[in-house]
Structure 1
Amino acid sequence: MPDGEHRSRRGAAVVAVVRAVSVAVGLVTAYYLLPLDERLTAGTTVLLVSGLLVVLLVFCWEVRAITRSPFPRLRAVEGLAATLVLFLVLFAVSYYLLERSEPGSFSEALNRTDALYFTLTTFATVGFGDITARSQTGRVLTMAQMAGGLLLVGVAARVLASAVQAGLNRQHREPMAPARAKTMPGGNPEA
């Protein structure tokens, strides 16, 4: 691998990590800064369901970006980070608003950090047991998160892997650009 191409890959990796971390930090910061003073109502429920649709749209957009990226593996990491953090933040918001709407929905009152903690322990399937859903709405919401998390891990990982493979296949089908083509002695392009 030529030195310039190696630097290009390394630079792309740094950019991918910085973007993934920036998206995660931005979403978690927004979670803490958004004025979530409302209670869980029909309107906020519609907004949260719309948020889940946005997660799906972001995921679809990421799949398309992966297949067109010059570095599909790196793009997949970015896509998974964005989709996963958005998914988790949406459920943390849901739990926080539910506790504000129906105090006692959980075994203890949830502030934003507690709601995020509950979301992560549910997603990671460790369920420490110190916070549990008590209300029917809380339990249904937690089950929805569990099912969504399983889909995200199972189906999304498979779709992302397929998108990476499609991106790699696309790269192999496209002719190499003249500046990047290596030439063997005698002027024959390297295969």
Structure 2
Amino acid sequence: MVAAYFLLPLNRLGPHRPVLSWTLFALALALVAALLMRQIRDVLLHTPDGRHGLAIALLMCLAVLVFSAGYFALAKQPGAVTGLETRIDALYFTAVTLATIGYGDIAAHGQTARAVVLVQILYNFVFLTAAATALSRSWRGRIGGGPRSR
């Protein structure tokens, strides 16, 4: 996935193709969210499938890469995101936002960039937190020999 992130032609996206850029971004986030919710449901319902943990972890990573790609494309718009010039910068900014650290070296200045940061924060709270909880439950079930009863 990381190799694909660095190989995708993201330079073709951005302010010169806004409809395509926003459509791909929204569809990718929606697809990852739907797949995450399916895996979370399966963990909560104790569906017998040994791949929940791997699928959830991969989908969480994919969500981070989708936001990174979005920030990279968004940074092509002058004044939107200062300090973000490379794909590594975009990945770094996504991780810093996800971790709620906010070093300040890269900042969302434009209204669109700030809206995307807000979307990422909400996405993190709703989908990635639920996914991390389900992943933890899945691992606990494997290590402890099954779901714990109360």
The reply to whether TM is greater than 0.5 is yes
1:82 aligns with 2:58: yes
1:36 aligns with 2:10: yes
1:99 aligns with 2:75: yes
1:67 aligns with 2:47: yes
1:56 matched residue in structure 2: 33
1:142 aligns with 2:122: no
Gaps of 5+ in 2: none
1:108 aligns with 2:83: yes
Comparing 147-156 and 126-135, the one that deviates more: 147-156
Letter aligned with residue 68 of structure 1 = P
In the alignment, the residues of structure 2 paired with residue 39 and residue 103 of structure 1 have an alpha-carbon distance, to the nearest angstrom, of: 14
C-alpha displacement of 1:77: 3.0
Comparing 30-39 and 113-122, the one that deviates more: 30-39
Q: Which structure has the bigger radius of gyration?
A: 1
2:105 to 130, 135, 152: 130
Of all paired residues, the percent bearing the same amino acid is 30
Tell me the matched-pair count: 137
In the alignment, the residues of structure 1 paired with residue 2 and residue 110 of structure 2 have an alpha-carbon distance, to the nearest angstrom, of: 26
Would you say the 8 A contact 2:81–2:107 is kept in 1? yes
C-alpha displacement of 1:128: 1.1
Letter aligned with residue 81 of structure 1 = A
SS of 2:102's equivalent in the other structure is coil
In the alignment, the residues of structure 2 paired with residue 148 and residue 89 of structure 1 have an alpha-carbon distance, to the nearest angstrom, of: 13
In the alignment, the residues of structure 2 paired with residue 109 and residue 61 of structure 1 have an alpha-carbon distance, to the nearest angstrom, of: 34
Q: Which has the higher contact order (CA 8 A, sep 6+)?
A: 2
Q: Output the aligned Cα RMSD.
A: 2.4
C-alpha displacement of 1:68: 1.6
C-alpha displacement of 1:80: 2.7
Letter aligned with residue 111 of structure 2 = Q
C-alpha displacement of 1:76: 3.9
